[in-house]
Amino acid sequence: MLGFLGCKKDIDNPKICSPDFEADPPGQWYLGDLHVHSTGASNDTGGDSTPEAIKNMALQRGLHFVVLTDHSNSTGSDPNTLEEDPALFNQGPECTWWQLCAQLSEEGNFLMINGNELSPVNSNVAIPSGHIGCLPADLNLFNPNIVFTDRPKSSVTGGNALQQANSAGCFSIINHPYSPTPWICYDWTDYNYQAIEIWNGTAGFDPYDNWGRMAWLCDLLNGRKITAIGASDNHRVFKDPPGDLTNPPLGYPTTAVFAANFSWPAIMQGLKNGETAIFEGKSRLFLDTYDINKCRAQTPAGIRILRLRGQADTLLNTAQLVLTRATVCTDTRPNHLSSPIITADTLLQQTINNTQPFDLSVNIEGNAGVYTATLLGKTDKKHYGAFSKAVIID
């Protein structure tokens, strides 16, 4: 983010930032893909998505970090077959590339992290269970030899897989909570996750992604501090943007995390703090909070100005910037065939020039609610959009 002039000093009011916004805090937005599959660990990658190839493509796409989240042991242990072998059930390994990821990481330049995607399934594929993204929260404490239990079919719920991930020390993510493919939808048998994937690659931001976003807003309105992320779910690293239903390109979408420095502990802290922004291509959307004097708001109660900065990708036609305040959720979960219903007020709706950055501010009265912003095409909402973090006022 751009830096701005700092505060002026005054005896009666020691912090007067008007007419300039207070400078951004120390740190940077680091770009990453938190849901990526690799050859040799997942058996459905097409054969050429090696960790080395993923790193090379990530650097070409401007990413700072990638997390390999190959399927848990039952579907990933044997990369040479798509058939499930009961002899391999619950045998591991879960973090096939742990050492290689460490070798491919470059201090100050690139991080590759070996995580996992716990992947239980029901015999009746019309019944949801869900996929749980596991990001090792602490690389020094995480056991890369962990074995997750996800089979036999119908024996493990999504909630049970989530509990396993949490017990292993994962930063746990509900991947693609809604989908036209029922068995990968989450069954909502446990709500003790830390993040929701509100935008999963495939066909761009589709209605099922929007349902996931509504579930995230619902969690926030219910007092759960959940982080929103977006990720490609890439299985074939050489696919060009923007991809298609079954072939999302690496980094489409990307999650940016604001962190004090470029290290996994700092990035993980940013994720836990909900300091994320999600986008495709060159689109960006950042939401910041200030008090009445344009100083950084110290508490939610002091927020009086919301500032929106970013840009629209030149491929985002008729870009619409919308700021809303969500106030009520009618929660339809655990039904995976309908979305939670969010009641929200629109505070700003403006067409954005996609050839130059924008920097807008909106005065608010400090009313309770969950404030978020979106940047989407008016006629095509699938690709090259952007989503901000949430600002919560109780």
Q: What pLDDT does residue 15 have?
A: 63
Residue 131 token pair: 């996929």
Strand 195-200 to 170-175 pairing:
parallel
Q: What pLDDT does residue 1 have?
A: 34
Residue with tokens 């024996």: 155
What is this structure's pTM?
A: 0.94
DSSP H stretches of helix in 88-205: 98-104, 158-167
CB contact at 8 A, 290 and 25: no
Instruction: Give the span between the Cα atoms of 41 and 113, in whole angstroms.
Output: 14
Residue boundaries of the structural domains of the chain:
28-393
pLDDT in tens, the chain (394 residues): 333 223 333 334 446 677 789 999 999 999 999 999 999 888 788 889 999 999 999 999 999 999 999 998 765 556 666 777 888 888 878 999 999 999 999 999 999 999 999 999 999 999 999 999 999 999 999 999 999 999 999 999 999 999 999 999 999 999 999 999 999 999 999 999 999 999 999 889 999 999 999 999 999 999 999 999 999 999 999 999 998 888 899 999 999 999 999 999 999 999 999 999 999 999 999 999 999 999 999 999 999 999 999 999 999 989 999 999 999 999 999 999 999 999 999 999 999 999 999 999 999 999 999 999 999 998 777 999 999 999 999 9
60's CB contacts (< 8 A; 6+ apart) are none
Q: What pLDDT does residue 83 have?
A: 76
Residue 349 token pair: 């709706």
Superfamily covering domain 28-393 = Metal-dependent hydrolases (3.20.20.140)
Strand 131-136 to 319-330 pairing:
unpaired
